């Protein structure tokens, strides 16, 4: 399903007091100095999928705040999506009754956040993910989970249910009362959700690896695997046996939340963590482009939209143009940011450009 972003409005979001733009369904590159508001724009769009967006920020921290204001103002994001024969409006913003929560609307009706995935699938890459192969295991798994539920929206709900049950179990173990019946019930929920998580992750990994194997592009191919011995048939027993250890440690040391994504540079037969920064970036892009290619062929799934923050600056000129060529050839609407307009010379004529200054769009390139 070819879905494109068209008009977008921001109200009191981060540094934007008000912004109304028509993207016309085209790809876009934003350029300007650090702090101008480029990433804020991508973050606003990212809030139209479930979760806390590409920065992981709390709802109350997203509202525009003047120096003398203690709290951010109520904020909102509204987007028009168009497909071949339909138009949909998505919106989100802080809840007027509770500024720590947000509401999501689909065609003016309040809906659960997961409903947005029926119309918009986002995949993003930010500078914070540049060290994803060197960071803690949980960051890699979170990155991979976003790829999973871009193809399988139910995975987001499953992960949320699992994490909620995991928190409740740990609270019982560390603060009591550690009632066996109560723990049994929570661990049954963990087993059910954990089994679905494991299945979804392996299904997504196999599909993504198959796409990587057949995808022809300029980026090095990644070989993927998931580690962790928490097989579905061992979950119930494993949670029960881990109670004493988890209580002593004050954290949950067993379960599918402990899985890890391992990535190898195929040509060099080297772990991604041992590759150069540029090679690591290229491997991540190989995964993202393969995911985009896979999803773009599924007729009943919205075409993924890519949000690539400060990506071009870390690529050599050949790979930079290759990235532009691949997103264009795949028909993926992609939003790029960078400090220097010349980074996007290879996009001229294929995307719109805009210079951003202090939360304002001040100069356009068609």
**pLDDT tens for residues 86-125?**
899 999 999 988 989 999 999 999 999 888 988 999 999 9
Residue 135 has pLDDT above 90, yes or no: no
Question: Residue 218 — very low, low, confident or very high, per pLDDT cuts 50/70/90?
Answer: confident
Nearest alpha carbon to residue 201 among 220, 224, 219, 223? 224
Residues 6 or more apart from 138 whose CB is under 8 A from it? 257
**Angle at CA of residue 342, ends 23 and 48, nearest 5°:** 30
Rounded to 10°, the helix 277-296/137-151 angle is 20
Q: How far is it, in rounded angstroms, from Cα 162 to Cα 160?
A: 5
What sign has the CA pseudo-torsion 350, 6, 50, 46? positive
Residue 231 has pLDDT above 80, yes or no: no
Q: How far is it, in rounded angstroms, from Cα 192 to Cα 151?
A: 21
Q: What are phi and psi of 260, to 5 degrees?
A: -140, 150
Tell me the range of 28-32, 133-137, 215-219 where mean pLDDT is highest: 28-32
Question: Residue 344 — very low, low, confident or very high, per pLDDT cuts 50/70/90?
Answer: very high
* Burial bucket for residue 61 (CB in 10 Å: 0-12, 13-18, 19+): middle
Residue 206 has pLDDT above 80, yes or no: yes
Cis omega (within 30 of 0) for bond into 177: yes
Residue 335: CB atoms within 10 A of its CB come to: 23
Residue 1 has pLDDT above 70, yes or no: no
Tokens 């022809």 appear where?
216
Q: Report residue 263 as tokens.
A: 């990535």
Q: What are phi and psi of 23, to 5 degrees?
A: -80, -15
Q: How far is it, in rounded angstroms, from Cα 299 to Cα 347?
A: 27
Q: What are phi and psi of 200, to 5 degrees?
A: -65, -40
The reported pTM is: 0.90
Report the pLDDT value the prediction gives residue 84, as an integer from 0 to 100.
Answer: 75
First to last CA, the chain: 26
Residue 303 has pLDDT above 90, yes or no: no
**pLDDT tens for residues 258-285?**
999 999 999 999 999 999 988 898 999 9
Report the pLDDT value the prediction gives residue 229, as an integer from 0 to 100.
Answer: 60
User: What SS3 state is found at 346?
Assistant: helix
């Amino acid at each position: 399903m070819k879905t494109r972003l068209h008009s977008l409005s921001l109200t009191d979001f981060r540094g934007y007091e008000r912004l109304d733009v028509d993207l016309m369904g085209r790809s876009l590159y934003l350029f300007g100095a650090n702090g101008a508001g480029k990433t804020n724009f991508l973050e606003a769009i990212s809030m139209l999928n479930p979760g806390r967006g590409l920065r992981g920020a709390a709802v109350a921290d997203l509202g525009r705040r003047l120096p003398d204001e203690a709290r951010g103002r109520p904020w909102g994001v509204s987007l028009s999506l168009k497909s071949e024969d339909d138009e949909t409006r998505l919106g989100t913003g802080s809840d007027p009754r509770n500024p720590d929560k947000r509401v999501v609307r689909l065609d003016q009706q309040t809906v659960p956040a997961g409903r947005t995935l029926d119309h918009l699938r986002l995949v993003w890459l930010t500078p914070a993910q540049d060290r994803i192969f060197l960071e803690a295991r949980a960051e890699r798994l979170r990155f991979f989970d976003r790829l999973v539920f871009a193809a399988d929206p139910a995975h987001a709900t499953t992960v949320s249910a699992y994490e909620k049950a995991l928190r409740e179990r740990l609270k019982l173990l560390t603060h009591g009362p550690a009632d066996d019946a109560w723990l049994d019930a929570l661990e049954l929920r963990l087993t059910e959700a954990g089994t679905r998580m494991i299945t979804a992750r392996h299904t997504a990994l196999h599909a993504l690896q198959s796409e990587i194997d057949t995808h022809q592009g300029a980026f090095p191919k990644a070989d993927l695997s998931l580690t962790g011995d928490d097989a579905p048939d061992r979950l119930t027993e494993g949670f029960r046996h881990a109670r004493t250890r988890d209580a002593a440690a004050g954290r949950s040391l067993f379960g599918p939340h402990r899985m890890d994504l391992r990535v190898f540079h195929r040509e060099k037969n080297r772990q991604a963590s041992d590759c150069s920064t540029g090679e690591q970036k290229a491997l991540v892009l190989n995964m993202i482009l393969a995911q985009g290619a896979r999803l773009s062929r599924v007729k009943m799934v919205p075409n993924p939209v890519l949000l690539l923050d400060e990506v071009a600056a870390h690529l050599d000129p050949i790979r930079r143009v290759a990235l532009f060529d691949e997103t264009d050839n795949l028909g993926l609407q992609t939003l790029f940011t960078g400090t220097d307009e010349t980074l996007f010379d290879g996009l001229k004529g294929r995307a719109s450009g805009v210079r951003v200054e202090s939360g304002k769009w001040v100069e356009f390139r068609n």
